[in-house]
């Protein structure tokens, strides 16, 4: 994936992940498709891997629009797995089988959290995934502080969007 696409996708997820749930799910599908195709179909061309990513991204968007409960579980699974696997790689350099086990554990926890605490979990997950994408796009893979600061900024921006217009008017009075 190009640096520009990663930066734009990361910024959109960081700042608008909750508002654009379908984009969040589609982006996670795209990331999952690219990752799975690279790991399991590595002998294929870059175009094939890109098509696999786009196909899973489109499937994610369709799920988000028509089967929201399924999309919530899938998004939570992929976001949780992606966050845990990237955190483990940044902190301990974990990869291989251990990375996939951590991905599965993070995925299960992510699916449960997003199902139970939809609004806030979606804000936190989209902020973290967006921050990780931005960090990776800038080739700053091992900078947990940057990811934390970006994610915190994303949470604050999205939390501000979350409030209703009535509560904003009451504060202004």
* Domain ranges, residue 144: 3-165
**Residue 52, in any domain of the structure:** yes
**Residue 55, in any domain of the structure:** yes
User: What digits encode the pLDDT tens for the residues 80-127?
Assistant: 888 888 888 777 776 667 777 888 898 899 898 888 888 888 898 899
**Residue 64, in any domain of the structure:** yes
User: What digits encode the pLDDT tens for the residues 42-79?
Assistant: 677 778 878 888 888 888 888 788 888 888 888 889 88
Identify the band that residue 172 occupies on the pLDDT scale cut at 50, 70 and 90: low
CA distance 166 to 64: 28
pLDDT at 51: 83
pLDDT at 155: 92
pLDDT at 49: 77
**Residue 18, in any domain of the structure:** yes
Q: Is it the case that residue 140 has pLDDT exceeding 60? A: yes
**Residue 103, in any domain of the structure:** yes
The residues, any chain, with a CB within 8 Å of residue 68's CB and separated by 6 or more, are 21
pLDDT at 42: 66
* Domains in the chain, number: 1
**Residue 173, in any domain of the structure:** no
**Residue 171, in any domain of the structure:** no
Identify the band that residue 154 occupies on the pLDDT scale cut at 50, 70 and 90: very high
Percent of the chain exceeding pLDDT 90 equals 6
Choice between 165 and 117, residue whose per-residue pLDDT is larger: 117
CA distance 47 to 50: 5
Per-residue tokens: 133: 């994408």
Residue pair 100/81 in contact (Cβ under 8 Å)? The answer is no
Tell me the average pLDDT of the chain.
Answer: 81
Q: Is it the case that residue 168 has pLDDT exceeding 70? A: no
How far is CA 120 from each of CA 19, 86, 115, rounded to the nearest angstrom? Answer: 12, 21, 11
User: What digits encode the pLDDT tens for the residues 123-139?
Assistant: 988 998 889 888 888 88
Q: Is it the case that residue 17 has pLDDT exceeding 60? A: yes
**Residue 97, in any domain of the structure:** yes
In this prediction the pTM is 0.74
pLDDT at 171: 52
CA distance 103 to 67: 24
Annotate the chain with DSSP letters as a single string.
--HHHHHHHHHHHHHHTTTTHHHHHHHHHHHHHHHHHHHHSTTS-HHHHHHHHHHHHHHHHHHHHH-HHHHHHHHHHHHHHHHHHHHHHHHH---HHHHHHHHHHHHHHHHHHHHHSHHHHHHHHHHHHHHHHHHHHTT-TT-HHHHHHHHHHHHHHHHHHHS-HHHHHHHH-
């Amino acid at each position: 994936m190009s640096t520009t696409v990663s930066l734009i996708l990361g910024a959109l997820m960081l700042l608008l992940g909750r508002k654009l749930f379908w984009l969040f799910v589609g982006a996670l599908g795209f990331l999952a498709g690219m990752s799975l195709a690279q790991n399991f179909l590595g002998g294929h061309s870059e175009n094939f891997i890109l098509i696999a990513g786009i196909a899973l991204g489109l499937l994610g968007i369709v799920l988000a629009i028509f089967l929201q409960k399924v999309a919530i579980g899938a998004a939570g699974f992929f976001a949780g797995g992606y966050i845990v696997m990237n955190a483990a790689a940044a902190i301990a350099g974990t990869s291989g089988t251990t990375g996939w086990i951590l991905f599965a554990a993070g995925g299960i926890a992510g699916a449960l959290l997003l199902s139970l605490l939809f609004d806030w979990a979606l804000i936190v997950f989209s902020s973290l995934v967006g921050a990780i994408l931005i960090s990776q796009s800038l080739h700053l893979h091992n900078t947990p502080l940057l990811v934390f600061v970006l994610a915190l900024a994303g949470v604050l921006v999205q939390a501000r969007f979350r409030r209703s217009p009535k509560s904003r008017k009451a504060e202004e009075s």
